Structure 1
């Protein structure tokens, strides 16, 4: 059994403000599960709502114990390609936590990031994945895929050695989930009725733009915790940095949204609502890696590029 008292007493220099900041960020990132559930449910047909909601729920519930048992140890173990697993996430890995932050606060912070990577895939394969198959996928990405690739960057692996910079997870979280989604969609193929007999794509409208918009607003709100709390500190130089991260994150999302609205307005003779909502998320994903280093002007440019790519792509 874990001696909780000894774990908590292992460091006497815990920072209350840093701990609160990390835990607040963890709570916001967890709430992204609700955002993804609303986005995916709103942008698909009503008959699949229950299936999608269960997938988003089970992403987190399956991933949490697996990341605690194995994933965290692989992610923060020693090694260049795969972390050397040393056991269940407990005081053995206490040194992985940032200065001033208790281990368990850091563990839950990392857990919700793992769950976010897993839930990204659900939307891309919506309406054509068996529930049991998705549960198996969710277990695999939480157990192996995310811990191994995130170790390369955040766990001191080979990409970190090369100087690769991903502040809050454009690559570790969103690209990992996106690549898994792309592979899954390629294997499954399109939804029934997506293409006509001539191979021309047909739109399959979602059943509720209201739910989709609510999900986008929830995700935008939670992204301030996703990116902002990745400072894992609210002391010293991290104080102005957190403010800058909030500004660049917000700017990229807003400019991406405007760009897509104008682009679709020109292309389709009217603004595309669902695509414009997705543009907000595209801008947020694009700014997540460099949000701590780029200027507001650069964040706006990143938003423009993201707003165009989300339509073209």
Structure 2
């Protein structure tokens, strides 16, 4: 290997390792966000669940998931590289860690729909199936050389692969579990207040920072050897940040219009919704389009969270609105906004409708959304229905009222305080 090539590989490896660490750090963001958004009697359970998520994902993705997602196989599934067999050390091991971090994020999203009422055992059983089979199958379709990749689907960092998948599993879990005790009174939704808005902010801020690894890291290169487009990860970071900023303001203004309140929690969810939406398109769109995508996702997510709750859906942290609806918005957005020069650079798909690219790319994006949603929804429904019919999904009413900290773990997250 030439000296210049060795330096480039070393720099790329270092960048992907840093990005992987940032994405893994997002688990702490989810822990604070969820714990703060929910009741304090479940805070310890929620934070512990994130450790389980990363630990379980690490082992299962190493054994099975990575091979199905990135192994050589056919248009639908990978059939090699199980237990990382045949995967050399160095950059390839770092790439595995990076992709593992993504899988763990998708599972963390899924658990949002199970919050405050699911048995701990469900996390182990469904989490294993999700990381071993469900998540990597769609990952193979889009990122592993599968059929959606062949069609040119544009999902740069995972609005569909990571976020829509996790949100769809969360939706199915929410529907099968039913609402939390006391959420609906006489058919009307009752607010269960967040126990710590500062925790919600801290979780959001950690996730915002982690997203630079999530999106910019998906360049999997420093770009030093790319003629004319050096350090392209910086451009991806730019569009990511602009979208997040627009999402915060879009959600805040939507809340002020619809509820007459400057809702801080809604603003935080607006940041996350925008980040989810820009995840697919961050490498394909111009800065002005990133702002539009972020603002639309932030505002629309706030409205859908209210709408779905009014229809009887108790999604405790609005996982489907924030990660599902915004994942769809982000995935479809490239079909409108993908700029020719950026598509050429990325080498994936065609320009969007607003740049004279016609309807092809929008059609491919819509097909990808439908296929991923249908597969994950059906697979999740089958697995969770079997669990429900055998060991059960939900804790007892007594355990739920006492809080999962004490009923599942034997100690409150805040010492001896019940924190009801």
Please confirm whether the aligned pair reaches a TM-score higher than 0.5, indicating the same fold: yes
| SS state at 2:84 partner | coil
1:80 matched to which residue of 2? 75
Query: C-alpha distance in 2, partners of 1:221/1:239?
Result: 22
Report if aligned partners of 2:66, 2:81 keep a CA contact under 8 Å in 1: no
User: What is the CA-CA distance between 1:37 and the residue it aligns to?
Assistant: 0.5
Tell me: CA distance 1:239–1:128, structure 2 relative to 1, closer, same or farther (3 Å). farther
1:53 to 23, 47, 63: 47
Please tell me whether residue 39 in structure 1 is matched to residue 41 in structure 2. no
Report if aligned partners of 2:18, 2:213 keep a CA contact under 8 Å in 1: yes
1:168-189 C-alpha deviation (Å, 9 max, x unpaired): 1111101110111111111111
User: What is the CA-CA distance between 1:221 and the residue it aligns to?
Assistant: 0.4
Q: Number of paired residues?
A: 296
User: What is the CA-CA distance between 1:195 and the residue it aligns to?
Assistant: 0.8
In the TM superposition, structure 1's runs of 4+ consecutive aligned residues that sit over 6 Å from their partners are 11-14
Please give the residue correspondences for 1:85-100 in structure 2 after superposition, counting only pairs within 5 Å. Answer: 85-90=80-85, 92-94=86-88
1:202 matched to which residue of 2? 190
Report if aligned partners of 1:29, 1:222 keep a CA contact under 8 Å in 2: yes
Gapped regions of structure 2 (runs ≥ 5): 305-420
1:8 matched to which residue of 2? none
User: What is the CA-CA distance between 1:269 and the residue it aligns to?
Assistant: 1.8
Please tell me whether residue 62 in structure 1 is matched to residue 56 in structure 2. yes
1:156-202 C-alpha deviation (Å, 9 max, x unpaired): 001001110111111110111011111111111111111111x1111
Please give the residue correspondences for 1:165-176 in structure 2 after superposition, counting only pairs within 5 Å. Answer: 165-176=154-165
Please tell me whether residue 224 in structure 1 is matched to residue 215 in structure 2. no
| SS state at 2:189 partner | coil
State the Cα RMSD in Å: 1.6
Tell me: CA distance 1:128–1:18, structure 2 relative to 1, closer, same or farther (3 Å). same
2:283 to 259, 281, 292: 292
1:5-50 C-alpha deviation (Å, 9 max, x unpaired): xxxxxx9787111000000000000000000000000000000111
Query: C-alpha distance in 1, partners of 2:84/2:7?
Result: 21
2:374 matched to which residue of 1? none
2:389 matched to which residue of 1? none
| SS state at 2:281 partner | coil
Report if aligned partners of 2:66, 2:82 keep a CA contact under 8 Å in 1: no
| SS state at 1:239 partner | coil
Gapped regions of structure 1 (runs ≥ 5): 1-10
Report if aligned partners of 1:195, 1:202 keep a CA contact under 8 Å in 2: yes
Please tell me whether residue 178 in structure 1 is matched to residue 167 in structure 2. yes
User: What is the CA-CA distance between 1:239 and the residue it aligns to?
Assistant: 3.0
2:322 matched to which residue of 1? none
Query: C-alpha distance in 2, partners of 1:205/1:253?
Result: 25
Query: C-alpha distance in 2, partners of 1:138/1:170?
Result: 20
User: What is the CA-CA distance between 1:295 and the residue it aligns to?
Assistant: 0.4
Report if aligned partners of 2:87, 2:93 keep a CA contact under 8 Å in 1: no
| SS state at 1:182 partner | helix
1:147 matched to which residue of 2? 136
Query: C-alpha distance in 2, partners of 1:14/1:247?
Result: 23
Normalised by the length of structure 1, the TM-score is 0.91
Please tell me whether residue 273 in structure 1 is matched to residue 261 in structure 2. no
Report if aligned partners of 1:56, 1:122 keep a CA contact under 8 Å in 2: no
Tell me: CA distance 1:12–1:252, structure 2 relative to 1, closer, same or farther (3 Å). closer
Report if aligned partners of 1:76, 1:93 keep a CA contact under 8 Å in 2: no
Tell me: CA distance 1:230–1:195, structure 2 relative to 1, closer, same or farther (3 Å). same
Query: C-alpha distance in 2, partners of 1:117/1:284?
Result: 14
1:213 matched to which residue of 2? 201
1:15 matched to which residue of 2? 9
Query: C-alpha distance in 2, partners of 1:14/1:297?
Result: 32
Normalised by the length of structure 2, the TM-score is 0.68
